[in-house]
Copies of this chain bind each other. A is one copy, B any other.
Amino acid sequence: MELKMDAAALNTLMRQEFSQVAEDFVVEEVAPMAVTVRLPVAERHLRPGGTISGPTMFSLADVSMYLATMAMIGPVTLAVTTNCSINFMRKPKAGVDLIAYAKLHKLGKLLSVGDVLIHSEGLDAPVAQASLTYAIPPR
């Protein structure tokens, strides 16, 4: 399977199409059916007590799965999430970025399905795990 977009192309796509949130997500690695995305944690992602908010982790899972799909099929900005099931398992470590590993399990014409593990950088035990489905518009 050939990649249609590399890390640089995915980061450019984020800045062009999702400029409000693009600085939250940095694609670090791309491989067939897989991407690694960093969330540089900032004040706006935190809840009282220094925890990273649930919606921030949801966004990271959602964007990572989107980027894993785009890497394989090229830029399709109208792809939309149809389902996400996310388990929040541990409190993220304070003052450390989040790293998401997204893996596609199915890439069909109309749907992509995969899962995402989110870690606090440097820690083995994941903070969250999500499974997502994207609907891809007919091309």
Q: Which residues of A approach B to under 8 Å, CB–CB?
A: 17-18, 20, 44, 47-48, 54-56, 58-59, 62, 77, 80-90, 105-106, 110-111, 113, 115, 117, 125-126, 129, 131, 133
Task: Give me 13 other A-B pairs in contact (C-beta within 8 A), A81-B88, A89-B105 excluded.
Answer: A18-B47, A48-B77, A55-B59, A55-B62, A80-B88, A84-B84, A84-B85, A90-B106, A105-B117, A105-B125, A113-B129, A115-B131, A131-B131
| CA distance in complex: A77, B115 (Å) | 29
Report the minimum CB–CB distance from A25 to chain B (whole Å).
Answer: 12
| CA distance in complex: A125, B32 (Å) | 13
Copies of this chain per assembly: 4
* Interface contact A83-B133, CB-CB below 8 Å: yes
Report the minimum CB–CB distance from A119 to chain B (whole Å).
Answer: 10
Nearest B residue to A17 by beta-carbon distance?
A: B48
Nearest B residue to A126 by beta-carbon distance?
A: B105
| CA distance in complex: A47, B20 (Å) | 8
* Interface contact B88-A86, CB-CB below 8 Å: no
Report the minimum CB–CB distance from A31 to chain B (whole Å).
Answer: 15
